[in-house]
Structure 1
């Protein structure tokens, strides 16, 4: 099985650089991944975060597409509950027109922030909290593909004068809640194992395929598995670098919010944790793909076989931008 290698970039605020440089570091990494032959480069959406610095993926998608040549560029994803489906369709169809056959539109149900930011984004109205997500996703698909029925009140709207340029449509999920909806509406499905590996099972893709078939869609749907991955020259170094992301996740579970720690700081904190929290740290680390290029590739191939998918997207969060770039470089070299 030929495995495609892609990227989901959360635009981390690296401790190695000033905060305001985080978006530029995403662009720097995208250029590298384009040169290395990665297949897609997706950017995530977060609001009011001290760790992740991209609240507007459509802007970064357009900029990255303008400074790269071959890689597909898209959102992983737009948090649809905050936005008008028509406006999202207009933005991404414009990008698909400017960068033909290179733009992806991935959407998700999660808010990508706190309840306070959801309220501010919805002002002066009330936030949807995902309640209208299915209807929004159906309407978005109709605008993108020009498939709204003639009796729909919005069917006469032209998103662009020429309806042909369109982004690839993807739906994001982490534990199966969106799989049936994605299959029913004809979206491709990206499964975010990096968010919840304990509840991310191959059966989710099977459910999705069944719903796709029942809905009578033509062709074969595309499947992507997104994993947390940190690669280094040695397993010891990879596990050390992974500590930054692992501890952030553990701290979030404990209700703590602080900047990314260095790998050395994480080790100091780990030694002071009670055994129960050390066990939870180790459990989180176990859900990551961490090691040398050979070790990472062995695990990635095993996951691709188990999930019956031919595309793997890597989410790599480290304290240092240099470590993050090295991880993607090593994996691409092993891949080639």
Structure 2
């Protein structure tokens, strides 16, 4: 199998870094993996989250595309229930006009932060998430240049190329919707470590050819922590273990803990169980071990692309991880 590798970056604040550092590291990482030959580079949308700086991915996409040469750049993803499909289509038609055939529009339905985010982004009202399928259908029409039947407006600028839509999800429902609308689908293994096979089966079984594409196209996004040995990888993964546990407990941190701090952390029995449960969201190990695990994941899920999300300290360790992965997957 010719397995393609891509990157999902959440602009994490590592210990000792500022928000400015985190955003600049996103640009630097994009330039780095572009030179290494990665397929695409996506940035996420998170709001009111101290440890993640990426709150406006459409802005980051423009800057990343300007600083790179050939890698596809996109969102992972725009949280559509918060926004007008028309405005999102216009934004990405502008990006497509600036960088033809290099822009991906990844969308999702999640809130993207603490509960108050929903109200802050929607004028004090809770977004109508049940309209997500209709919103997505409208977005696809606008991107293709079709006028709205009621308003008779088009999303401009028009052009010969259209940014493809990817639906990101962590359940079978989102997978089924992506298939029915005929768009590409990414399963968020880094969010849900259990439902991947079910979700991707639903996607493939429900796929209907569309204007965008005639065949289904899917990928999986997963946390990856690499070490010279399995023991070293486990050491670096301890910081992600602690960060995920703190998030689940509702504790707010200004940064991601470093492994020196996290590896000394002691947990209760139930916390240790939760840490092990969250390891399903990660691939951890030496280079040979990670290579085998990634290939097995691709085969199990019937995909030819895996999107790697690596959050470790220091930043140079993140760059090293992507270098090592590139060396085995060309």
Fold similarity call, TM over 0.5: yes
| 2:198 maps to 1:206 | no
| Deviating more after overlay: 159-168 vs 72-81 | 159-168
Q: Distance in 2 between matches of 1:91 and 1:264?
A: 42
| Deviating more after overlay: 309-318 vs 162-171 | 162-171
| 2:313 maps to 1:319 | yes
Partners of 1:43 and 1:60 within 8 A in 2: yes
| 2:240 maps to 1:245 | yes
Partner of residue 231, structure 1: 226
Unaligned runs of 5+ in 1: none
> What displacement does 1:273 show?
1.5
> What displacement does 1:283 show?
2.7
| 2:180 maps to 1:181 | no
1:221 is aligned, of 216, 240, 249, to 216
| 2:274 maps to 1:280 | yes
**TM-score w.r.t. length of structure 1:** 0.93
Partner of residue 115, structure 2: 115
Would the alpha carbon gap of residues 286 and 86 (structure 1) be closer, same or farther in structure 2, given more than 3 Å must change? closer
> What displacement does 1:286 show?
4.4
Q: Distance in 1 between matches of 2:322 and 2:210?
A: 38
| Matched positions, count | 329
Q: Distance in 1 between matches of 2:296 and 2:41?
A: 23
Partners of 1:90 and 1:160 within 8 A in 2: yes
**TM-score w.r.t. length of structure 2:** 0.94
2:167 partner SS: strand
Would the alpha carbon gap of residues 141 and 265 (structure 1) be closer, same or farther in structure 2, given more than 3 Å must change? same
- 1:289-332 CA distances to partner (integer Å, 9 max, x unpaired)? 01122111100000000000111000111132111111111111
Unaligned runs of 5+ in 2: none
| 2:154 maps to 1:158 | yes
1:268 partner SS: coil
- 1:259-299 CA distances to partner (integer Å, 9 max, x unpaired)? 32221221221xx3122322321232244101122111100
Partners of 2:226 and 2:321 within 8 A in 1: yes
Q: Distance in 2 between matches of 1:76 and 1:161?
A: 23
Partners of 1:231 and 1:328 within 8 A in 2: no
2:163 is aligned, of 135, 155, 167, to 167
Partner of residue 104, structure 1: 104
Partners of 2:80 and 2:132 within 8 A in 1: yes
> What is the 5 A alignment of 1:1-336?
1-123=1-123, 126-128=125-127, 130-147=129-146, 152-154=149-151, 156-198=152-194, 200-213=195-208, 219-258=214-253, 259-269=255-265, 272-336=266-330
2:208 partner SS: helix
> What displacement does 1:187 show?
1.5
Q: Distance in 1 between matches of 2:165 and 2:281?
A: 28
Q: Distance in 2 between matches of 1:27 and 1:58?
A: 13
Q: Distance in 1 between matches of 2:272 and 2:208?
A: 44
Q: Distance in 2 between matches of 1:187 and 1:59?
A: 23
- 1:236-268 CA distances to partner (integer Å, 9 max, x unpaired)? 221111111121111222222223222122122
RMSD of aligned Cα (Å) = 1.8
> What displacement does 1:55 show?
0.7
